[in-house]
Structure 1
Amino acid sequence: MNPSDIVKYLGKPYFQTSNCFIYNLDCVEAMAMLPDEFINLTVTSPPYNIGKEYENPLPLDDYITWCEKWITEVYRLTSSDGAFWLNLGYLSIKNRAKAIPISYLLWDKIPFYLIQEIVWNYGAGVAGSKFFSPRNEKFLWYVKNSETYTFNLDDIRDPNVKYPNQKKNGKIKVNPLGKNPTDVWEFPKVTSGKNRSSQERTPHPAQFPVAVIERIIKASSNQNQIILDPFLGSGTTAVVALDLNRVVIGFEIREEYCDIAANRIDNFLSEKNSKFEQLSLI
């Protein structure tokens, strides 16, 4: 695939750098312009329909229908060995649930094969008084084909091994690259606030830490493959994909968020070029 094919199908991007194409478009309309099996990996977190500033809340049935519609498009676009990583939070249902995982409402609406649910323990958040204090979100790892899918375990092994020199029959028992991470990932949240704001914080109100997306992209794609984020937001997927030498397409319906992502990518590339130039002088 030549990156120029992306422009051929989608037209001029709102923002473009080498291997990065951001479009200020509705993702359902935009995805319909792309051919089948064009994408290797989709990583995204759609609106939760809970009234955030970037949402237009819908009646619950309409929201579920909308989710099914855009996810079906992602399925069509995904290559035969490709994957779909979906982050969804919780919503309330009057007289039924204070916080039901949205994935429970979509279990039979997603055509992908579910490999695993990953729990992201982010370690900080609101304090509950009549319920346990929330400290996690979920990622659902789906694939197009349950037998042939990309999983680069050696690229994401955890070097923090308790007994690295443990032997069995005279041989080191543990892989020298580290252990297989568990299905509970402990990464700090991207915090805000005057005294506790994360270094990677942008003005976007819902931002993922780079470390979470990095593990996903390393595990489920290879260099030069195409990564899609239909709800680009602050641009974390784009920054990580570029850093890992992937091609990235991002759709974002709000222009101000396109600007946040574009500025972040520009800053990232400037810093990366500066480090490269410094190393070349050594």
Structure 2
Amino acid sequence: MTNSSFNQVKKILGTPAYENAGVAIYCQDCLKGMQKLPDNLVNLTVTSPPYNIGKEYESFITTEDYIGWCSKWMQEIYRITAENGAFWLNVGYFEVKNKGLAVPISYLLWDKSDFYLLQELVWNYAAGVACKSRFSPRNEKLLWYIKNQQHYTFNLDEVRDPNVKYPNQKKNGKLKCNPLGKNPTDVWQIAKVTSGANRSSKERTAHPAQFPTAMIERVIKSSSNWGELVIDPFIGSGSTAIAALENGRHVIGFEVEEKYIQIARQRIEAYLFDKEMAQAQGDLELMFGI
């Protein structure tokens, strides 16, 4: 699928709250927006929904209501996903009353759609809450769903880890390791987007639950192809948009908070400006043989 899918979505949903260079963000509830879209349109959905833990953009609901709400939009994602498409879901933990303090949300959602769960991946990060009465949490989960078990996109060579301990080791005269690097495995050690004086991440915004662009970039490169359509139903600060632009994909996002759309706008425009300046610098160096 190409730009035609992106244009088809815009034709159906109308004028977005923000649009630029292959990105369109709609200020509306994702469930209502996705219900208007036709079947089998989207190549990849990647998102991290509210965790029902009391962030500024959410209100507490019961565990049962939360699971029911997630089931609705997860099933809608299934309907609009192309036959060879995928859905990546990033979730953390919450308390289930009288049952558990830090219950992985993935345990409650993994089977709440018609998708086939191909794999659970662990996102391991260094920064986080320091605990005294239990081990300090340092991971979240990524659920990788596919629609067709026999036919799905997986571009391993696009995301291989070049950090190989013995890259030139051979067996029977042949390299044991792929020259492009090793499989990153199902545990991803990617730095968290941190805040605070003297420790704030370079990509940090005012959004209270921002996930790292590097993580989304790996998902996009491995589970979609150049020019295809990516959707983020909870686009927040725009990390998915940045990763999609960097890798030649089109992206549709949904966000109910206008202030977060403005954050995403600022990030996207800063990224595009930096890209334009880098291109201009490269052209000058080529012109003058620098």
Query: Normalised by the shorter chain, which TM-score bucket?
Result: over 0.9
Matching residue within 153, 157, 180 for 2:156: 153
Report the equivalent of 1:44. Answer: 47
Please list, as runs of the form range in 1=range in 2, the aligned pairs for 1:102-121 lying within 5 A after superposition.
Answer: 102-121=105-124
Q: Is the 8 A contact 2:110 2:143 kept in 1?
A: no
In the TM superposition, residue 34 of structure 1 has moved relative to its aligned partner by 0.9
The amino acid of 2:144's aligned partner reads: W
Q: Is the 8 A contact 2:126 2:191 kept in 1?
A: yes
Report the equivalent of 2:84. Answer: 81
Aligned counterparts of 1:141 and 1:80: Cα–Cα separation in 2: 15
Aligned counterparts of 1:214 and 1:148: Cα–Cα separation in 2: 22
Give the alignment's Cα RMSD to 1 decimal.
0.9
Report the equivalent of 1:192. Answer: 195
Report the equivalent of 2:99. Answer: 96
In the TM superposition, residue 87 of structure 1 has moved relative to its aligned partner by 0.7
* 1:263 paired to 2:255: no
Aligned counterparts of 1:36 and 1:257: Cα–Cα separation in 2: 28
* 1:71 paired to 2:74: yes
Aligned counterparts of 1:107 and 1:280: Cα–Cα separation in 2: 49
Aligned counterparts of 1:6 and 1:113: Cα–Cα separation in 2: 25
Aligned counterparts of 1:8 and 1:126: Cα–Cα separation in 2: 44
Please list, as runs of the form range in 1=range in 2, the aligned pairs for 1:15-54 lying within 5 A after superposition.
Answer: 15-54=18-57
* 1:252 paired to 2:255: yes
Q: Which runs of 4+ in 1 moved over 6 A?
A: none
In the TM superposition, residue 4 of structure 1 has moved relative to its aligned partner by 2.5
- Aligned residue-pair number: 282
The amino acid of 1:246's aligned partner reads: R
Q: Which moved more, 1:55-64 or 1:198-207?
A: 55-64
Matching residue within 50, 54, 59 for 1:56: 59
Aligned counterparts of 2:197 and 2:134: Cα–Cα separation in 1: 28
In the TM superposition, residue 57 of structure 1 has moved relative to its aligned partner by 1.8
Instruction: Give SS of 2:43's match.
Output: strand
Structure 1: any 5+ residue segments left out of the alignment?
none
Instruction: Give SS of 1:274's match.
Output: helix
Q: Is the 8 A contact 2:110 2:117 kept in 1?
A: no
Please list, as runs of the form range in 1=range in 2, the aligned pairs for 1:166-205 lying within 5 A after superposition.
Answer: 166-205=169-208
